[in-house]
Amino acid sequence: MYITSNYYGTGEKVDEIYKATEDAFSQMKNVFTLNKIKPQQIVQFIVVLSQHLSPDVFSNFNEAYTGQLNRWLEEMEIDSNNLKTEYIDSYMPTRVCICVNSLSKETVYCSDEVLTISLSAIVYYGDINVFEWINSLRGLYVQSISHWAPANIGPYSQAIAVPISNIQLDDFSTCVTDYFTFYSGQIGLIPELEVIPSETGYFSDHFEALEVESWLSLRHCHRIMKANIL
């Protein structure tokens, strides 16, 4: 397993988030092509945005991310005739999305005038056949509104588990499980409503809503762990 370098996209204003996302994906795709790595080998994306994650920013980014990733997967579709399972495309990569005030020395604060996106990924890159790699994965990909788990509001799995035998380790004796699991970031959405507590109007105090949101985020993580039996 390897983690890639960061690939950057920029826009002069927030409504250019699609262009910034496209630029970052384009750089990553070029490197992957040169190294004969397929997008199906990606386990997790790490995204960093130089903007507060408002509903508008998230919606615009999610649309751009979805379009770029789906197009890439379609371009690099692999022949599944030799697979033992039909679920070759079941698990989309997990995703962690973070917002910060600065991504570089040139971008020192959140501004409506400047947008920077950083994209990196954790990928499998080894001797195992890509078909065997895909068949070895376990994961959770809830695509509908649920009362027991976080609603999936993007094209990503909630969790993907990779067999330890597929990961190069110097010493397996200290491992207490057969899988390493990669989780998507969990925000404190109310699953059946797909809104954060502060947007429901039920809480007059900001800190009370934040406490509930924090609890929901932890509960989502715990339930994903239980559902995935990892």
**pLDDT per residue over 54-100, tens digit each?**
777 778 888 999 999 999 988 876 655 554 444 445 578 999 988 87
Q: Where are the beta strands (DSSP E) in the chain?
A: 2-3, 7-11, 42-49, 94-99, 115-123, 138-140, 159-163, 179-183
Q: Same domain, yes or no, for 70 and 145? A: no
Pairing of strands 94-99, 7-11: unpaired
Residues 108 and 7 in one domain: yes
d(C-alpha 196, C-alpha 213), whole Å: 7
How many structural domains are present in the chain? Answer: 2
Q: Quick one: 5 and 88 in the same domain?
A: yes
Asked if residues 190 and 197 have their Cβ atoms less than 8 Å apart, the reply is: yes
Amino acid letter for position 136: S
- Cα–Cα distances in angstroms (integers) from residue 200 to residues 195, 197, 206, in the given order: 7, 5, 12
Convert the pLDDT of each residue in 100-136 to its tens digit: 765 554 544 455 567 789 999 999 887 667 777 777 8
The separation between CA 84 and the C-alpha centre of its own chain, rounded to angstroms, equals 27
φ, ψ dihedrals at 114, nearest 5°: -135, 135
Given 93, 126, 159, the domain boundary residue is: 126
Domain span including residue 103: 1-126
Please indicate, yes or no, if residue 106 is contained in any of the structural domains.
yes
| Same-domain status, 18 and 94 | yes
Q: What pLDDT band is residue 222 in, cutting at 50, 70 and 90?
A: confident
Residue 225, domain member (yes or no)? yes
Does any domain span residue 132? no
Amino acid at residue number 126: G
